[in-house]
Amino acid sequence: MEGFLPPAETFKRTLSSLTLERIVLCAFLLLVSGLIGSVWALYDWAVIGFGPITYNGIMRILVVSLTAIVIAVQMIASAFLSSIFEIRRVAPPRRADD
């Protein structure tokens, strides 16, 4: 926060509740669900002998699953980046001969 606008209390509470661990946990759950959907779509494709995909349900599952995986990776990267931005710099102690 740079002080251009007065901070809203709801915004402060929302930001304080979004910790690195919570975001990574949500992203991990999203990643696992995306992987499960991808494996399911791959299994359905294997059942038909890896031929042409004529059933649109496989593609729908695959698109949603891969989108979930990409969003999860983005969430994890953003969570780590935002946690790095929140690290406060501490001035080094002054030496006596300065």
Does 95 reside within a domain? Answer: no
Does 63 reside within a domain? Answer: yes
Residue with tokens 């931005």: 85
Does 12 reside within a domain? Answer: no
Mean pLDDT, the chain, whole residue set? 88
Please give the tally of structural domains in the chain.
1
Q: Computed over its alpha carbons, how large is the radius of gyration of the chain? A: 22
- Rounded to two decimals, the pTM is 0.75
Band (pLDDT 50/70/90 cuts) for residue 11 is: confident
What gap in Å lies between CA 83 and CA 78, rounded to an integer?
Answer: 8
Does 46 reside within a domain? Answer: yes
Residue 89 reports pLDDT greater than 80: no
Does 50 reside within a domain? Answer: yes
Does 96 reside within a domain? Answer: no
Does 93 reside within a domain? Answer: no
With H, G, I as helix, E, B as strand and everything else as coil, classify residue 84. Answer: helix
Range of the domain at 43: 29-85
Contacts of 33 (CB under 8 A, 6+ apart): 65, 68
Structure-model confidence comparison of residues 58 and 15, the more confident one? 58
